[in-house]
Structure 1
């Protein structure tokens, strides 16, 4: 059941209007099998929202629909226009489960790729890449090749590449799932620091209750296929979050509530 203190998923979220709006969105495979929905979800500008659910529930599909990498079978996906966009384009950054780096190119070259594809000028590319690398702590690794990097560093490169175009919306599909716990905790903290500084709208997919509650302002619990919203939880915590919040009674209690909701959502009918 939904947390009664929360607005419904279709209500406009705070912080300056809605950045992402899904209305009655469904997705079916060519076989006819339903993968998602109907799904109604509103994400506010600057909000950090996590989608939490079992494998195959449509979390990644929802991200792909938001990004325009796939089209819904029904319903609508609406995005707020990027202020600096031309021809009504939307600025979206996407961090996938795997870093998908070009092995022959340096860290700098991998981060520069979106700007090169957009035919940005050389000076602009250099300045933006330097800024993105500095933000993710990779200034000193700019000339390294992917094979010289740890898993955590590769994911930082992927994050820098997503940020280099200065997107309004950052979509993240289980980016830290394959990392060890210490590295994952560190990247969680670094991601929150970036979010506080840049105030991007973030939609984050994860299987981890603990990660979802630690990172998010709002956690959306989804049902098994076809993915629908089973419950929502708002996470209220003083900023900046850190070790004190992770070890607090409030964090533990919220994790239990979200975990219980996830268990209920995945119970056989």
Structure 2
């Protein structure tokens, strides 16, 4: 379970280096499926980490446990408490695989939703919505409806909705999986630019070796179900990353290394 005492302890950590800590975490669902673990994972503040593994290996389950959208069957999930959270804000923002926008209202109102639920005054909420839309490049589409947007733009709205609460930790569950390659590349670049600017802690779930290597400082490779951590690979590349990195020998080498680490996951039980 999420340990309230642990949250407070992490929030007063003098070094302030750890954003998320999972220790001995497992998850077994009511139908008997053992989805996860045990796993041990630590994510530093401001780090960009990708969880990579086959379908059904527990990547999304781990993300939901970190977000507090479920409780582990055993072990402890600890998320650093911040002054923002202590004052009624949010430590964690979540971008789901589908944009899940309300089709009957505008982009602005979709982004405003978390602030409305938190009873943030309208004047303050308006400024924060404008800022979030500017961060994802959608200011001019504030009054558009979801039906008027492309798939990539809908995902930008979802990202803005996660950013509008100014979370310290951004959890992203395969947000670009359904997009075409050109749009996906562009959003990868824009996400990295946002990360460099805002320095959020990002935990990003993906099935793509290429995406994980391009985006991450560290790739966490998971086994087939029940998901465990097979290995962790640091991606040491010059910042800022761009097309030069994507076409470099270093990038290709990291992709080969991550692919090799992932291969055993596909020789185990069906996911």
TM-score by length of 1: 0.92
Quick one: structure 1 residues 237 and 35, their matched pair in 2 at CA, closer, same or farther if it must change by over 3 Å? same
Maintained 8 Å contact 1:93/1:170: yes
Deviation digits for residues 226-261 of structure 1 (CA, Å, limit 9, x no counterpart) = 000001100011111000000000000000010011
CA distance in 2, matches of 1:19, 1:84: 14
Maintained 8 Å contact 1:103/1:147: yes
CA distance in 2, matches of 1:110, 1:136: 14
Q: Find the counterpart in structure 2 of residue 72 from structure 1.
A: 72
Deviation digits for residues 85-144 of structure 1 (CA, Å, limit 9, x no counterpart) = 227875110000000000011000000000010000111110000000001000000000
Alignment RMSD, CA only?
1.3
CA distance in 2, matches of 1:268, 1:144: 47
Maintained 8 Å contact 1:52/1:209: yes
Q: Find the counterpart in structure 2 of residue 117 from structure 1.
A: 117
TM-score by length of 2: 0.92
CA distance in 2, matches of 1:65, 1:44: 17
Which structure 1 residue ranges, 4+ long, deviate > 6 Å from structure 2?
Answer: none
- Confirm whether residue 39 of structure 1 aligns to residue 47 of structure 2: no
- Confirm whether residue 62 of structure 1 aligns to residue 81 of structure 2: no
Maintained 8 Å contact 2:50/2:204: yes
Maintained 8 Å contact 1:81/1:89: no
**Number of equivalenced pairs:** 255
CA distance in 1, matches of 2:171, 2:154: 17
Please state how far the C-alpha of 1:29 moved relative to its aligned partner: 1.1
- Confirm whether residue 250 of structure 1 aligns to residue 250 of structure 2: yes
Maintained 8 Å contact 1:102/1:110: yes
Deviation digits for residues 19-66 of structure 1 (CA, Å, limit 9, x no counterpart) = 000000000011222100001000000000000000000000000000
CA distance in 2, matches of 1:145, 1:227: 39
- Structure 1: 5+ residue stretches without partners: 1-14
**Per residue, is there more helix in 1 or in 2?**
2
Q: Find the counterpart in structure 2 of residue 174 from structure 1.
A: 174
